Amino acid sequence: MRVPVIDLGSQWTHRIWRTLRDLECDSEIMPPDVPFAKIADADGLVLSGGAVRLAKGEDSKISKCHALLDEFKKPVMGVCAGQQFLALHFGGKVAPAKTPEFGNVGLEVVEANDLFAGMPKRFTVWASHNDEVKSAPGFELLASSSDCKWHAFKHRRLPIYGTLFHPEVVHTQHGAEIYGNFVRVCKR
C-alpha cells in the first residue's frame, strides 16, 4: 500500500507521514510540483496542511497540484489547506473564517461515512486555521464544529475526502483511526 504525502507547508506534514508508516503504508513526503509519474502507481494521496492563506489566492507552487488531481484517479485526502485546495479545485469557495480556530475544537459528525466509521458522533480535534471552506459543490458535508460548517467533506462521486482539522496532531481524538479508515478506502 503506497500513500505519498504532498507537502503544502504544514509544520505537521511529518506526523502524517509517520502515522501512515505506523499503519504499514509505504509513504514519502513529496513537493507539490512532483511529476505525476512519481505518484502514478500510488494507492492514495494525502495533501497536507500549510500556512498558505488560500482565501487570499493560491501560490504558484500549490497551483501545480491541480494537474496532479486531474490525473490521479485514486483516493485523495486533503488536510487543512489541503482540504481548502480540494474545495477550490472543484469550484468551491474559501474565505476568512468568521471565527478562526486554533487549538482543541469540538467536532460533530453529521453524516455517517467511511472516514469516521467506528467513531463517536462527537469528539475533540485539533484545528489551526484562519480560512475555511464556504461552499463545496459536489461534496457532502461530513462533520462540523460550532464555528465552522465544512470541517470535513467527501466528494459525492469520487473517493476524495477533506478535513479542516488535523487528524495527525496528537490532540485530535481518533486521529490515527481517521487515517486508518482512509487507508481502508485506498485498499478497495
Residues 6+ positions from 154 with CB-CB distance below 8 Å: 113, 114, 115, 139, 140, 142, 160, 161, 162
Question: Among residues 89, 166, 174, 186, which one is catalytic?
Answer: 166
User: Quick one: pLDDT at residue 60?
Assistant: 61
C-beta separation of 33 from 64 below 8 A:
yes
Interatomic CA distance for residues 177 and 155, integer angstroms: 20
User: Quick one: pLDDT at residue 65?
Assistant: 86
Name which of 137, 159, 162 is nearest 151 in CA terms: 162
pTM for this prediction: 0.94
User: Quick one: pLDDT at residue 86?
Assistant: 95
Q: Is 58 a catalytic residue?
A: no
Interatomic CA distance for residues 167 and 19, integer angstroms: 10
Three-state secondary structure call for residue 99: strand
User: Quick one: pLDDT at residue 183?
Assistant: 98
Question: Among residues 25, 58, 65, 80, which one is catalytic?
Answer: 80
User: Quick one: pLDDT at residue 59?
Assistant: 65
Give the mean pLDDT per block of 10 residues along the chain (188 residues). Answer: 94 95 97 94 95 70 84 96 94 91 93 94 92 94 95 97 95 96 96
Residues 6+ positions from 136 with CB-CB distance below 8 Å: 87, 90, 92, 150, 153
Q: Is 66 a catalytic residue?
A: no
Interatomic CA distance for residues 186 and 26, integer angstroms: 13
Q: Is 151 a catalytic residue?
A: no
Task: List, for residues 33-72, the tens digit of each pLDDT value.
Answer: 999 999 999 999 999 988 777 767 766 667 778 889 999 9
Question: Among residues 58, 101, 132, 168, which one is catalytic?
Answer: 168
Angle at alpha carbon of residue 104, lines to 100 and 106, rounded to 5°: 90
Name which of 183, 160, 164 is nearest 19 in CA terms: 183
Interatomic CA distance for residues 18 and 56, integer angstroms: 31
Take residue 85 and report the three cell numbers written for it: 485546495
Which sign, positive or negative, has the C-alpha torsion 52, 50, 46, 28? Answer: positive
Domains, the chain, with CATH or none? 5-187 (3.40.50.880)
